[in-house]
Amino acid sequence: MTPTTSDLHPTLRPMYETVLRRNPGESEFHQAAHEVFESLSPVVAKRPEYVQASIIERICEPERQIIFRVPWVDDAGKVQINRGFRVEFNSALGPYKGGLRFHPSVLLGTVKFLGFEQIFKNALTGLPIGGGKGGSDFDPKGRSDGEVMRFCQSFMTELYRHLGEYTDVPAGDIGVGGREIGYLFGQYKRITNRYEAGVLTGKGLSWGGSQVRTEATGYGLVYFVDEMLRAQQTSFEGKKVVISGSGNVAIYAAEKVAQLAGTVVAMSDSGGYVVDENGMDLEVMKDLKEIRRGRISEYAEGREARYLEGGTIWDVPCDIALPCATQNELDETHAATLVKNGVRIVAEGANMPTTQAGTRALREAGVQFAPGKAANAGGVATSALEMQQNASRDSWSFETTDARLRDIMQGIYGSCMMTAEEYGMPGDVIAGANIAGFTQVADAMLSQGVI
């Protein structure tokens, strides 16, 4: 549902109307923009120079949008056609940086919402990276390795001309993991005849990848929640945690929760969810999802765990809920169930997994809420650390990189809380994240003139 203008500051209303008019039908992008606009009232009052320089309107308009055809040959010899996207949204702070998503649901509006979020998330990390995102409506599920390779090669054959370690640096997202990054990097290297390691992140450890990048988004999310818990003089110990998804973010969030003595009682995929009151066995889950690429239903076979096809994982009672699958997977009905079952914290591992009505319901019920652009920034932050290591031809130990990640997540939490306080909304992590990210980008844009 497209949000309305009526709840926005009068200065912001015409700007939001322009977003709606210029980007028809892109409801996810409208939602992402509206979420940021909702936090900007105190900013337009306090910083009129942003309004004078049309910073908000400029931030909403991507610097460049690339759409291209991706032809490839399947195992049966049939030519398949997909559509590729890269939206280079904002380079005020550094080269465009953001993942690639391969999923049949991907449209231009999906990539734009993700790219828009990415601008502020990347700013929050304090590292020199701009915002971008890309992907394709290609579905890797059920495809052979050979088909995935041929698709990736074709995708990169067009995209490579827009990339570079100082220009645009993609990484993974839904449907793009180590296998896909490998094929994409191989093709980039072949076409350009350059071993430019810093052009893609999420690489394998033996060829320019960083320790902790695989774990970073999930670990970072849990470090962020740990800060929220510490602020209430408590910890993960003894807490029941429900995590949606069973991909990269979900698995490593679960691993870190278990390390911090919490119990992950349920996880899901797009087919259904499993409940294991003893705590999920992550070795089994990793083998199932990372190696065998199977369905989560198989987890329950021969164990004391229940598999529920369809339905919603948010029916499972918990203290902490971590949505880590996809956008708009937690709405106001799910929020009401979570509240009824006593949830205390909801923190977003995925990008925009909670609808605006869902977020409102949780906040009104006094649930602490951490938005994805702050809580899941650990992935991109570690990607930036991978770029640092590539630039200096160095590689850091797991412990060093993990300590940097933890510091960065603590820094993001601190900066959200401080900014929320400064702008008169103490304790509001959403407002703090949006304003802290926005002002950093806006100040850089002011300094760089009208471009």
Residue 232 within binding range of ligand NDP, rule CB under 6 A? no
129 binds ligand NDP (CB under 6 A): no
CB of 3 or CB of 202, closer to ligand NDP: 202
* Site of tokens 């069973």: 246
Binding residues among 318-357 for ligand NDP as defined by CB under 6 A = 324-326, 349-351
Q: Is 246 in the site for ligand NDP (CB under 6 A)?
A: yes
Give yes or no for residue 131 binding ligand NDP (CB under 6 A): no
Distance, CA of 342 to CA of 170 (rounded, Å): 39
For 430, counting Cβ atoms within 10 Å of its Cβ (0-12 exposed, 13-18 middle, 19+ buried), the class is buried
Catalytic site includes residue 133: yes
Which DSSP symbol is given to 204? -
Applying CB under 6 A, which part among 9-17, 170-178, 191-199, 385-393 lies near ligand NDP?
170-178
Contact between 245 and ligand NDP per CB under 6 A:
yes
Query: Judged by CB, which is closer to ligand NDP: 50, or 369?
Result: 369
Q: Answer positive or negative: Cα dihedral of 95, 123, 371, 248.
A: positive
CB of 124 to ligand NDP, least distance (A): 12
Angle between helices 378-391 and 398-422 (to 10 degrees): 130
Minimal distance, residue 252 CB to ligand NDP, in Å = 9
Of the listed 133, 203, 239, 373, which one is catalytic?
A: 133
Sign of torsion over alpha carbons 186, 207, 199, 68 = positive
Q: How do 320-323 and 345-347 pair as beta strands? A: parallel
Beta-carbon count within 10 A of 164 CB: 17
String marking each residue 60-99 x if it binds ligand NDP according to CB under 6 A: ----------------------------------------
Task: Give the H/E segment covering residue 67.
Answer: strand 64-73
The helix or strand, by DSSP H or E, that contains position 264, with its residue range, turns out to be: strand 263-269
Least Å from the CB of residue 232 to ligand NDP = 25
Residue among 31, 41, 376, 389 that touches ligand NDP (CB under 6 A): 376
Three-state secondary-structure class, residue 69: strand
Helix H, strand E, coil C: the string for 318-337 is CCEEEECCCCCCECHHHHHH
Give the footprint of ligand NDP on this chain (CB under 6 A). Answer: 172-175, 217, 245-250, 269-271, 324-326, 349-351, 376, 379
* Residues labelled catalytic: 133
